[in-house]
């Protein structure tokens, strides 16, 4: 059965992914388009300066903030699976989120939820020990909401712990038949064509799903839609997606 069309959707992007003098993406321009910023907080990217700057810019535009937590893997940009002990992963999430919370408070705003990044996000689809570690951390942080993929193993664990869960889809990534994202190593896994990205976004939001890599239909009953800040042409893609969704009568607003 096809999921009902969303009357409103959150448009989120991964931002603040710089470190020191090095920066990535066009954060200022993207913040004029999205409704939620997933700000890197030291695991895969981000330092004190980038976190503060991203929080300040988001606050100035009324954009919601989630903590973009990751494995402690700056060299691999958080895109390599780490067989980290659950207790250590809990501590990592608490430290990363806590740091961003402090910066957000200093800039007059707050962290509304947590979205795992990269390999950690993918691991939470099936790795119950790491999923439990992340859920435990969110409970210790005052029951912060979690942003996750539909069908991920972490979702029922988070819900059982009383956490709010925001399910999300991706406008710029190919989906496999099981609903997971095609690995970035697979040719064509990242969508950069404007027509393809806007069509996928519209399908997810208005039809409740998308065609997977083999053509089968995958239902995605989501409240948030992600566009990666480091995708080539990200700002142009985000503007086009927002315009197309608004043309279709969908309200753009933060999920948290």
Per CATH, the homologous superfamily of domain 8-252 is Glycoside hydrolase/deacetylase (3.20.20.370)
Structural domain spans, the chain? 8-252
The model carries a pTM of 0.94
Range 95-106 average pLDDT: 98
What does 69-131 look like in DSSP terms, one character per residue?
A: ---S-TTTTT-S-----HHHHHHHHHHHHHHHHHHHHHTT----EE---HHHHHHTTT-HHHH
208-250 pLDDT tens trace: 999 999 999 999 999 999 999 888 899 999 999 999 999 999 9
pLDDT at 56 exceeding the cut of 80: yes
**pLDDT score for 5:** 59
**pLDDT confidence bin for 1, thresholds 50/70/90:** very low
Tell me what pLDDT residue 3 has.
52
């Amino acid at each position: 059965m096809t999921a009902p069309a969303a009357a409103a959707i959150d448009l989120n992007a991964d931002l603040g992914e710089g470190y020191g003098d090095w920066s990535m993406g066009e954060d200022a321009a993207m913040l004029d388009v999205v409704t939620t910023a997933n700000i890197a907080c030291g695991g895969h990217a981000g330092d004190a300066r980038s976190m503060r700057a991203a929080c300040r810019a988001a606050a100035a535009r009324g954009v919601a903030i989630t903590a973009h937590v990751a494995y402690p893997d700056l060299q691999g940009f958080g895109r390599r699976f780490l067989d980290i002990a659950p207790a250590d992963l809990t501590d990592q999430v608490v430290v990363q989120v806590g740091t961003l919370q402090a910066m957000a408070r200093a800039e007059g705003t707050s962290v509304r939820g947590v979205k795992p990044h990269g390999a950690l996000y993918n691991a939470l689809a099936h790795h119950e020990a790491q999923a439990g570690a992340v859920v435990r951390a969110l409970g210790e942080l005052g029951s912060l909401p979690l942003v996750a993929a539909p069908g991920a193993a972490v979702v029922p664990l988070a819900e059982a712990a009383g956490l709010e869960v925001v399910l999300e889809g991706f406008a710029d990534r190919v989906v496999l038949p099981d609903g997971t994202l095609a690995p970035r190593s697979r040719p064509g896994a990242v969508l950069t064509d404007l027509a393809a990205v806007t069509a996928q976004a519209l399908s997810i939001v208005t039809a409740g799903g998308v065609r997977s890599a083999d053509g089968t239909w995958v239902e995605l009953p989501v409240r948030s839609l992600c566009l990666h800040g480091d995708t080539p042409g990200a700002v142009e893609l985000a503007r086009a997606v927002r315009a197309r969704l608004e043309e279709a009568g969908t309200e753009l607003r933060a999920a948290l």
